[in-house]
């Protein structure tokens, strides 16, 4: 059994197969007690650890990871209409050292049949393109997901508007899909302003502060009373400062980072995923310094300007010490996607319920309903 087989997401199958079959998981889930003492947007949660939008494809995935002690669960980004994923393959292992935030490489290599040395050193490239089910289906499933949470846990529904030729239309669609999430009972809504695998307007909103602020303002008026988060990519220095000024009046938190967009090639130097996907999101172990640097800079700007804005860290979290490092750098909560994908016991290890595991085997898991 290789590292690939330890993943709850089956990299050998496409998005729809993983959605239909649900997560793979093997092992007992030991009992653990709820201790809602951690503050999070007006609530008390069991811990500051969660999973960002991406891994939790539907309620089956939410149910598994809630039972495994992840207390902040972000439902995979949804749209106001059905939207297809990019073709398989969607995930490949990438061979790389730690990426430097101010000096990222021009490209990385995804060697055929290569695997990382352990689940805690996994770096992948992923390329899905923010697919979505029809709203009727995902709204019903969001309601089901809410019923699977334990005491001291919260669900975030991530949304994105679809760019159809004009910024006005994009803003209107963000309002539309956020309103749908509100109707489904979302206690918190995330505006996904960053997707490295979308070449159209919605994938790079975080690099356009006036547009980001416009969307945040209009959505906040439309879903008045529901806290809003914004998800962003790697942005530093003056660019980050400008973005935070634009969104701070309208949202309650910012989540960063959503992978690092890079060219990923095979050993022949050709695009590793497909000829038309020259760049894709790189996530996992190798982007931790990028995420930590983002959090540190965002915290400094927040304190200087006295923003009422929470900073949530994400990127490269594969061990308990990584969670503690993010909190030390100023993150008020920490999200892990690739880490949770290859080590589903990570939250229970962090809470001290389990000793760190060395081997995990997959098994079909049926969520309680």
**Coil, helix or strand at residue 55:** strand
Task: Count CB-CB contacts under 10 A for residue 127.
Answer: 24
Q: Which two tokens stand for residue 154?
A: 């919260």
**Cα separation values, 13 from 140, 160, 279, 341, 344, Å:** 25, 25, 21, 15, 19
| Parallel, antiparallel or unpaired: strands 154-159 and 72-78 | parallel
Q: Which two tokens stand for residue 54?
A: 């991406």
Contact 323, 43 (CB under 8 A): no
Alpha helices in the chain (DSSP H): 15-21, 59-67, 135-146, 167-183, 209-222, 237-247, 288-305, 320-329, 338-342, 346-350
DSSP state of 44: E
Contact 107, 265 (CB under 8 A): yes
Roughly what angle, to the nearest 10 degrees, separates helices 135-146 and 167-183?
A: 40
Is 195 annotated in the active site?
yes
Give me the catalytic one of 195, 290, 314, 337.
195
Contact 233, 258 (CB under 8 A): yes
**Coil, helix or strand at residue 116:** coil
Instruction: Scan for tokens 């805690």, then name that residue.
Output: 120
**Residues with catalytic roles:** 195
């Amino acid at each position: 059994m290789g590292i690939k087989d330890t993943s709850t997401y089956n990299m050998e199958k496409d998005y729809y197969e993983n959605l239909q079959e649900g997560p793979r998981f093997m092992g007992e889930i030991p009992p653990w007690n709820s201790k809602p003492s951690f503050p999070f947007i007006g609530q008390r949660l069991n811990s500051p650890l969660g999973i960002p939008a991406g891994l939790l494809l539907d309620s089956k995935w939410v149910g598994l990871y809630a039972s495994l002690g992840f207390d902040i669960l972000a439902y995979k980004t949804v749209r106001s209409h059905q939207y297809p994923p990019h073709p398989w393959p969607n995930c490949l292992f990438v061979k790389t050292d730690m990426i430097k935030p101010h000096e990222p490489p021009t490209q990385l290599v995804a060697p055929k049949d290569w695997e990382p040395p352990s689940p805690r050193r996994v770096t992948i490239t992923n390329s899905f393109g923010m697919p979505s089910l029809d709203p009727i289906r995902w709204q019903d499933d969001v309601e089901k997901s809410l019923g699977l949470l334990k005491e001291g846990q919260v669900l975030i529904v991530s949304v994105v508007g679809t760019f159809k030729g004009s910024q006005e239309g994009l803003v209107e669609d963000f309002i539309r899909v956020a309103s749908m999430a509100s109707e489904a009972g979302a206690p918190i809504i995330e505006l996904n302003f960053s997707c490295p695998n979308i070449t159209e307007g919605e994938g790079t909103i975080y690099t356009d502060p006036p547009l980001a602020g416009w969307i945040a303002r209009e959505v906040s008026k439309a879903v008045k009373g529901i806290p809003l988060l914004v998800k962003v990519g790697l942005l530093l220095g003056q660019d980050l400062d400008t973005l935070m000024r634009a969104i701070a009046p309208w949202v309650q938190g910012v989540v960063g980072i959503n992978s690092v967009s890079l060219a990923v090639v095979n050993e022949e130097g050709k695009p590793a995923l497909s000829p038309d996907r020259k760049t894709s999101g790189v996530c996992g172990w190798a982007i931790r310094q990028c995420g930590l640097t983002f959090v540190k800079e965002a915290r400094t700007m927040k304190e200087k300007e006295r923003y009422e804005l929470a900073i949530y860290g994400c990127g490269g979290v594969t061990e308990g010490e990584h969670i503690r490092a993010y909190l030390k750098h100023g993150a008020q909560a920490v999200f892990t996607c690739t880490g949770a994908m290859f080590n589903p016991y990570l939250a229970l290890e962090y809470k001290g319920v389990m000793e760190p595991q060395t081997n995990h085997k997959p098994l079909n898991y049926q969520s309680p309903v």
